[in-house]
């Protein structure tokens, strides 16, 4: 069994339904089985969702440059542009790798693996909570800027947003329409990627239980050998899935780590230049930093869990009652141990593995860059 009787198992093919629906709603998951008319409309929708955030970056970059002489305002705009660039770069990578991701998801869905109901609930809660949190932060600062009649980010418009209330509301609505897809797409991508990692961890835990449960005796030798062969085949398949994910999301996680390093560095600079009279600007910095830190922490935590669970397979094999096994089975078990001693891990640009250590290193790198810049200025 995959888990205890209290934790009912669910078919793995249902595991990704919520994530794929979310990705479809934000224009990142095209279903080729749809009628041609639907596909045409979806292609237009997808192109629009691709274009709006890019236009947002262009017009806000112009607005940021126009205020480059005002240090506080320039840094505030730069921080918000960095958040948008992070989202946009990641969804471009995701879109380019979508075919590979689709093939991996399809293979997992038809693998026959079971997923516990608790894991499905945890995955759904994670997606919903992270989306609500990100949108709440965005809504809070948009609402505050709207009440104070301030632009949440300086931007170029073909009209003067501050001329009258109607033009201000129009500019505000344009910016919100262009930026919101990036936030929603970020949550949708994170949901699917985290679900894939959680699936690997769940299956590795199942392998550990099955290995420890192996009991050998003359009467059940054939059955036990078949069970052990099935365990080895599944372990090899899980390693292949992990290797595929490592290749697919290599650039994605590199951008993620680079963004959190730059975000932390920028926030450290902002703290040193913003006075007590500009605490509102500083709060916006810290709020966006909290969102970025949370997202980076989730990826790092799950990546670390994958490393731990994959290494635990070797420990589970060693803990099995292998001393009474035939020599041939002991050699096969040694093969499992040797392979499991190379932990499964997700790479970030080929320079680091996604783990809590990498998360801490990214934070340290951000502070180190700030310290060097600060010393150079002094």
**pLDDT single digits (tens) 317-375:** 988 888 888 888 888 889 888 888 888 999 988 888 899 988 888 888 877 877 776 66
* H or E element in which residue 348 lies: strand 347-348
Instruction: Give the closest residue to 312 by CA, choosing from 289, 343, 286, 333.
Output: 343
pLDDT at 6 (0 to 100)? 46
Whether 5 has a pLDDT exceeding 80, the answer reads: no
Q: Average pLDDT for residues 253-267, to the nearest whole number?
A: 86
pLDDT at 202 (0 to 100)? 92
pLDDT band at 378 (very low <50, low <70, confident <90, very high): low
Would you state the structure tokens that stand for residue 52, as one six-digit string? 């709006």
Would you state the structure tokens that stand for residue 155, as one six-digit string? 């931007």
pLDDT at 370 (0 to 100)? 73
Lowest mean per-residue pLDDT among 68-72, 104-108, 220-224, 299-303: 68-72
In sequence order, the 6+-apart residues with CB closer than 8 A to the CB of 293 are 260
Mean pLDDT of the chain, nearest integer = 85
Q: Give the length of the chain.
A: 378
Q: What is the pTM of this model?
A: 0.89
Q: CA-CA-CA-CA torsion for 263, 269, 274, 279, nearest 10 degrees?
A: 30
Give the 3-state DSSP-derived string for 48-94, with helices as H, strands as E and coil as C: HHHHHHHHHHHHHHHHHHHCCCCHHHHHHHHHHHHHHHHHHHHHHHH
Whether 2 has a pLDDT exceeding 50, the answer reads: no
Q: Helices in 213-249 by DSSP H: which ranges?
A: 221-248
- Measured CA to CA, the distance from residue 278 to residue 153 in angstroms comes to 15
CA atoms within 13 Å, Cβ hemisphere of 13: 3
pLDDT at 146 (0 to 100)? 81
């Amino acid at each position: 069994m995959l888990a205890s009787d209290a934790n009912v198992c669910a078919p793995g093919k249902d595991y990704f339904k919520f994530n794929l629906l979310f990705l479809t709603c934000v224009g990142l998951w095209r279903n080729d089985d749809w009628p041609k008319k639907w596909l045409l409309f979806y292609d237009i929708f997808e192109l629009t969702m691709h274009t709006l955030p890019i236009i947002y970056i262009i017009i806000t970059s112009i607005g940021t440059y126009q205020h480059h002489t005002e240090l506080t305002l320039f840094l505030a705009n730069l921080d918000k542009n960095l958040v948008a660039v992070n989202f946009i770069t990641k969804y471009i990578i995701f879109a380019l790798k979508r075919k590979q991701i689709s093939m991996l998801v399809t293979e997992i869905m038809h693998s026959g693996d079971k997923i516990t109901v608790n894991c499905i609930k945890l995955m759904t809660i994670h997606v919903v909570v992270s989306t609500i949190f990100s949108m709440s932060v965005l809504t809070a600062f948009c609402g505050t800027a709207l009440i104070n009649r301030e632009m949440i980010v300086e931007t170029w418009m073909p009209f003067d947003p501050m001329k009258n209330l109607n033009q201000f509301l129009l500019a505000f609505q344009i910016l919100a329409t262009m930026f919101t897809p990036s936030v929603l797409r970020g949550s949708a991508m994170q949901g699917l990627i985290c679900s894939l990692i959680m699936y690997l961890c769940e299956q590795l835990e199942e392998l550990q239980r099955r290995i420890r449960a192996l009991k050998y005796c003359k009467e059940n030798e054939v059955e036990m050998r078949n069970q052990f062969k099935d365990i080895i085949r599944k372990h090899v398949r899980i390693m292949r899935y992990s290797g595929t994910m490592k290749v697919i999301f290599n650039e994605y996680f590199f951008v993620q780590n680079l963004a959190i390093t730059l975000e932390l560095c920028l926030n450290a600079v902002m703290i040193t230049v913003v006075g007590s009279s500009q605490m509102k600007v500083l709060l916006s910095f810290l709020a966006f930093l909290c969102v970025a830190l949370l997202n980076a922490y989730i990826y790092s935590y799950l990546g670390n869990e994958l490393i731990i669970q994959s290494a635990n397979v070797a420990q589970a094999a060693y803990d099995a009652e292998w001393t009474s096994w035939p020599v041939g089975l002991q050699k096969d078990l040694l093969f499992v141990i040797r392979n499991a001693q190379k932990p499964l891990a997700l790479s970030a640009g080929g320079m680091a593995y996604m783990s809590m250590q990498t998360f801490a290193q990214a934070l340290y790198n951000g502070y180190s860059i700030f310290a060097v810049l600060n010393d150079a200025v002094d």
